[in-house]
Structure 1
Amino acid sequence: MATGKEAGMTSEHDGVRDLLAAWAFGALPPAEQEIVPRHLAECHSCAAEAEKLRETVRLLDGPPSSRTGVRPWSDVLSTALRARPATPRVAAHAAPYAAAVAGLKALLPEAEGRWGTPVVHDWDVHATVAHLLAADEPLAGRLGIAARVPASPVAEGARWQDAWNRRSAEVIAHEHGRTPEETVADWAAQAAALLATPEAREPELAACATMLMGVRLPVADHFVVRAFEAWIHTDDIGRALGLAVPAPPAGHLGQLVRLAVRILGLALGPAAQPVLFAVDGEQQWVLGSEDEPIRAELALDPVDFCLLMGGRRTPDEVPRRAVGDEGAIRNVLERAASLSWL
């Protein structure tokens, strides 16, 4: 059992890790400006993570010549962090979603006057936010949060994909009758309500499994799914507006990768030709049959893997390191790409 001092250090450690992004962007509130440097002087792991974040800020700004006509993402996020209201602390499983929501909220002011900019599919910026409003609905509804757009009946026996596509289209059509600011406000309020649920704060409650979007997962994992989609569409919007959105922090990216690998493994099933699959910075997994010799080895960058699973990379264009049976490798890549509904 931890002593009182150890428990205090653990509490401070967790609190400082939540503040590192704001520290790296020079956006800590005055009350928190002394806490982080003091902790970094004593904690090697936090100090290493802080240095990585500082380097990321420098890379995001790029050389001065690259800034012409484009506001650096670090400026966007730093301004948003300084203006942010206090947010409730959440458990580790909901932290990636909280960070993704904060990132999109930081980006959306850059869309002012450009809401009609094409983003992805046939959506503009306004429609993409409306899609996210619809995408968060299933988890919100399961956790007792009322939908903000009236729902229409779903045909009995309809496939979840068909019902989902119809609902997304309904919400987008509804929101195009409102201002973008109203849509953003409803999306942000729904996200805040999700992060305020007991399931976002208490791992024991979030361990309960539920079926959403065609897959049965613990509620904790559904929060990670929400983070995945929010980041993907933030990246979509950023590209449309000329801003390079950074990848999630390493710890959050690892959560996205591990969940994506589990879903990919389930989709491939135990009869697929076995492939030793690795994601840089993460562990290795055997995908497919565990009773046969490994037919191939495949390694991907974590961001590229997430973009492949999110439908933003194709099997032909995703960078990879691979040896062995090309058919087995192709099967993994094509199955990963086929799982996207984003």
Structure 2
Amino acid sequence: MSTEREGHTMGSDHEGVREMLGAWALGAVLPSDEPRLLGHLAECEWCAGEASRLRDTVRLLDGGDAALAYERIDRAATGEAAAYEDGGQEVRGRLLASVLAQRPAAPSTAGHAAPYAAAVAGLQALLRELGEQGPWSTPVVHDWDVHATVAHLLAADESLALRLGLPGRAPRGEPPRDLSWREQWAHRTAEVIAHERTHSPARTVAAWREQSAALLGAPQATDPELAAQATTLLGVRLPIADHYVVRGFETWIHTDDIGRALGRPVPTPPDPLLWRMVRLGVRILDLALADDSVSVLLTVAGHGSEGEWVLGSEDEPVAAELVLDPVDFCLLLAGRYDPGEVPRGLAGDERAARSVLERAARIAWL
């Protein structure tokens, strides 16, 4: 039995065939199912239209404008696509999601890129909840709203992308001369934010997502030997592997910024990834303290692990002992804690400990 509906025919095979459309768009439908599928498409205008749209989306993802493809997916999933009857919006969003789920998995990243991969996934999940008409103008941090914060991340990831030979996503003007790296960075992030203000939030998110996918697909994300090469980015010389960890750190911090602004909880990174960021943060802090005349024992404890490091001068006895939680330590490095207010344990010379905390807070460029 079949029932005629306005604009398309709902045959008895409609539900079963609809579940095969994602596989068909990928060219992965079973040969035994193909005659049944093609026969249904010849009779059902709605499914034929969906099949065509899914094939177009796969072509965009495979070799064309991935940003446009992702924007289409987001619009479908968040209700911005043209309305279909009989719950068609929900169906289309599910079908498009099934296409992505059935695509071959991207090459797995090496351990050094895992914090960035996890942070990207976390921000994607948060942004997916907002929708095209969501709270993009909500103030987040500095003078940025949600839209500008994503644009800032687009600019922040660009430095590593360009070093790896990947294209930039926003036009670049001639920077003023004789600027420090911090001034150059502030100029570039303002330039990218101004450019992205001319685009919709969905397009900015798509550009950021495309660039992050390119970074995670780069050989340096999967090959530790290639990632061992050192380069100077954002004022610090580190192996490329560590720059991936820095990208994960900043992406997580700004995801947390957005979550706090919107009242949406953002999970802490998994313990192994959190501790990878902690250890890198300690190394950077130690470099910053190398010329100081103080020596402080720093203990970071919690979230399944503990570490101790003597920071500062090698020629001076330890003047103070500091104990910090790993999340609080990361938030301090990100400039999200006032040095006098970060929860800590302290013994010994309070002035020496305060010097370390203040230097940690000044490292931030986020």
> TM-score category by the smaller chain?
0.7 to 0.9
Kept after mapping to 1: 8 A contact 2:299/2:309: yes
- Partner of residue 293 from structure 1, selected from 307, 314, 317: 317
Kept after mapping to 1: 8 A contact 2:114/2:273: yes
- Distance in 1 between the 2:307 and 2:327 partners? 15
- The residue identity in structure 2 corresponding to 1:203 is P
Within-5 A mapping of 1:65-80? none
Within-5 A mapping of 1:269-288? 269-280=290-301, 281-288=305-312
Structure 2: runs of 5 or more not aligned? 1-93
> CA offset at residue 289 of structure 1?
1.6
Count of residues paired in the alignment: 262
- Distance in 1 between the 2:354 and 2:185 partners? 28
- Partner of residue 144 from structure 2, selected from 123, 126, 138: 123
Which residue is 1:19 aligned to? none
| 3-state DSSP of counterpart to 1:94 | helix
> CA offset at residue 247 of structure 1?
0.9
Which residue is 1:334 aligned to? 358
- Partner of residue 214 from structure 1, selected from 235, 254, 258: 235
Kept after mapping to 2: 8 A contact 1:138/1:212: yes
- Partner of residue 104 from structure 1, selected from 118, 123, 126: 123
Per the normalisation by structure 2, the TM-score is: 0.70
Within-5 A mapping of 1:157-306? 157-280=178-301, 281-306=305-330
Deviating 4+ runs (over 6 angstroms): none
- Distance in 2 between the 1:122 and 1:270 partners? 34
Please, what is the CA RMSD of the aligned residues? 1.4
- Distance in 1 between the 2:117 and 2:185 partners? 23
- Distance in 1 between the 2:314 and 2:196 partners? 48
| 3-state DSSP of counterpart to 1:283 | strand
> CA offset at residue 158 of structure 1?
1.6
Kept after mapping to 2: 8 A contact 1:304/1:319: yes
- The residue identity in structure 2 corresponding to 1:304 is D
Per the normalisation by structure 1, the TM-score is: 0.75
Q: What is the percent sequence identity of the aligned residues?
A: 63
| 3-state DSSP of counterpart to 1:136 | helix
| 3-state DSSP of counterpart to 2:237 | strand
> CA offset at residue 326 of structure 1?
0.6
Kept after mapping to 2: 8 A contact 1:111/1:125: no
- The residue identity in structure 2 corresponding to 1:166 is H
- Distance in 2 between the 1:219 and 1:150 partners? 24
Which residue is 2:42 aligned to? none
Which residue is 2:156 aligned to? 135
> CA offset at residue 154 of structure 1?
2.2
- Distance in 2 between the 1:155 and 1:118 partners? 29
> CA offset at residue 270 of structure 1?
4.5
Which residue is 2:111 aligned to? 92
Q: Answer with 155-164 or 329-338: which moved more.
A: 155-164
Structure 1: runs of 5 or more not aligned? 1-78
